Amino acid sequence: MGTVVADVRSENLEVTIDKRGADRYQKVTYPIRYGRYTEIRTGNHLFEFNLNGEIKYIRGLTERWPHPVEWLKRTDADDWVYYTTGAYNEVFSFLGEYYRPCLPYPSNSLWAYDPFSDTGVAQAVEAWAELVEALNGLVRNGVPDRTKACLNRIRACNRQALRQKARALHQITGGPITVLPPDTRHVDYDVIPLMIADGCLYRCGFCCLKSDRHYQTRSASEIRKQIGELKRHYGANLRNYNAVFLGNHEALAAGREKICMAAEEAYTAFGIETSYLKGPTLYLFGSVDSFLKADDRLFKSLNGLPFYAYINIGLESAHAETLTDLEKPVSASKVEAAFDKMIAVNRGYHNLEVTANYIMAERLSGQHYDSLKELVSRRVGRFYSKGALYLSPLNGSRSKTALQRTFIELKQGSRLQTFVYLIQRL
């Protein structure tokens, strides 16, 4: 990684524009940045901005900051997420990543830590707002034109402007994205959301994220219009993305032609081929029935896309009484068939990976967990590194510690990669 340094320094800050981060997402135990960005360092904080001038990361540099290698990240939905180390090995065991995202909104986390109550964290966001105002004087002091243009973009992206931009994104997609696929952790949840369908097939009783819409795919013209609007919305910063989420809750049922049309046209329009980040990826949700219905033509088409594609399937349980309790309208035999098909697809296609979700909650019976043990041990036969099982804690569980113990027990007996599904929105 190299940098192009803009020699702009004052007594209180230092500006580096066109800084170059890693060109591929990595699993590492230290802060790492990707693509191209601008860095402004003050005595107390390190601020990093994307190519549109929008704040992306903040890290504290003083003893008031909770930990020297932890940071704040702002999402495209205008949420601040705090990344904590915890115990590296423990975090990786649970999440498959070395940092644990702490969310500012209710979710299904197994941890109670709230960094947003820390004064150092709260002050960091205020320090960014103050920095944006303080740049006025620096711009007037005769900095080089290229640096001035960069700083003016940062000045324009104040708190109010970024709130409006988040609302504009949701207007383009048709509303907030209530949940991202768990596999988007591989790109730190930095995906361009492209909606090709609305609603879901099941409207399960246990789900607190379901849409109130009946399932309907979007037309090709609607998808193309959305692609154009997203391209304008992300602007110069498009080159810092290499991942697309085909949404919303059930894209697989939209069918081969619509999925591939959306993926291929997004790849071209968003300039994924010229992204600063290598290894383009595509993410979508599917259901038990849409996955069982999918044929080899669909999988071959997905396998041939210029993306590595992830399909995440909501299995939830292979125990009939639990499925009834969860108000999920599928049979245990269908869940088992979908699991077997997941294993077969993962072994048959090199550019396609299917993962699955399974519910974890205190109130569920031992038979529910026994059905999972049957799937991930005896039905798999041997350890297989491709594909993952995500255990999703139900909201409202009283004992996070008990669920952590349950997860560890299940993971130890699994012949698939097994992680906790931490629900994040966009």
**Closest of 301, 78, 73 to residue 187, by C-alpha:** 73
Asked whether the beta carbons of 17 and 4 are under 8 A apart, the reply is yes
How far is residue 204 from each of residues 116, 136, 172, 212, 322, measured CA to CA in Å? 33, 52, 27, 11, 12
DSSP 233: H
DSSP 63: T
Percentage of residues in the chain with pLDDT exceeding 70? 95
Instruction: Give pLDDT, residue 397.
Output: 65
Which position has the higher pLDDT, 134 or 234?
234
Tokens at 146, concatenated: 């290229």
Give me Rg for the CA atoms of the chain: 22
Instruction: Give pLDDT, residue 2.
Output: 45
Backbone angles phi, psi at 138, to 5 degrees: -65, -40
Residue 34 CA, chain-centre distance (Å), reads 15
How far is residue 237's CA from residue 276's CA, in Å, rounded to a whole number?
10
How far is residue 1 from each of residues 19, 36, 182, 399, measured CA to CA in Å? 9, 11, 29, 44
In the chain the first and final C-alpha atoms are separated, in Å, by 29
- pLDDT tens digits, one per residue of 361-403: 988 999 999 999 999 988 888 898 899 999 999 876 667 889 9
Q: Is the torsion defined by CA of 371, 393, 390, 405 positive or negative? A: negative
- Count of Cβ atoms closer than 10 Å to residue 393 Cβ: 23
How far is residue 152's CA from residue 327's CA, in Å, rounded to a whole number?
53
> Which residue in this structure is represented by tokens 């909501």?
314
Instruction: Give pLDDT, residue 117.
Output: 95
How far is residue 322's CA from residue 300's CA, in Å, rounded to a whole number?
34
Whether pLDDT at 175 is above 50: yes
What SS3 class is residue 97?
A: coil
Asked whether the beta carbons of 68 and 55 are under 8 A apart, the reply is no
- pLDDT tens digits, one per residue of 187-231: 999 999 999 999 988 867 666 665 677 899 999 999 999 999 999
- pLDDT tens digits, one per residue of 271-305: 999 999 999 999 999 999 999 999 999 999 999 99
Instruction: Give pLDDT, residue 140.
Output: 75
How far is residue 198 from each of residues 178, 213, 222, 267, 329, measured CA to CA in Å? 12, 7, 12, 21, 19
How far is residue 232 from each of residues 235, 263, 272, 301, measured CA to CA in Å? 5, 18, 15, 28
Instruction: Give pLDDT, residue 88.
Output: 78
Q: What is the CATH number that goes with domain 174-420? A: 3.80.30.20
Whether pLDDT at 328 is above 60: yes
Instruction: Give pLDDT, residue 210.
Output: 59
Domain spans, the chain: 8-159, 174-420
Give 89's pLDDT tier (boundaries 50, 70, 90).
Answer: confident
How far is residue 188's CA from residue 101's CA, in Å, rounded to a whole number?
10
Asked whether the beta carbons of 223 and 153 are under 8 A apart, the reply is no
User: Would you state the torsion angle of the CA atoms of residues 361, 363, 364, 370, taken in this order, to the nearest 10 degrees?
Assistant: 80
How far is residue 365's CA from residue 112's CA, in Å, rounded to a whole number?
25
Instruction: Give pLDDT, residue 396.
Output: 64
Give 136's pLDDT tier (boundaries 50, 70, 90).
Answer: confident
DSSP 377: I
Instruction: Give pLDDT, residue 208.
Output: 62
Instruction: Give pLDDT, residue 294.
Output: 98
- 3-state class percentages of the chain: helix first, strand second, coil last, to nearest 5: 40, 25, 35
Which region, left, alpha or beta, applies to residue 236 given φ > 0 means left and ψ of -120 to 50 means alpha?
alpha
Which position has the higher pLDDT, 402 or 81?
81
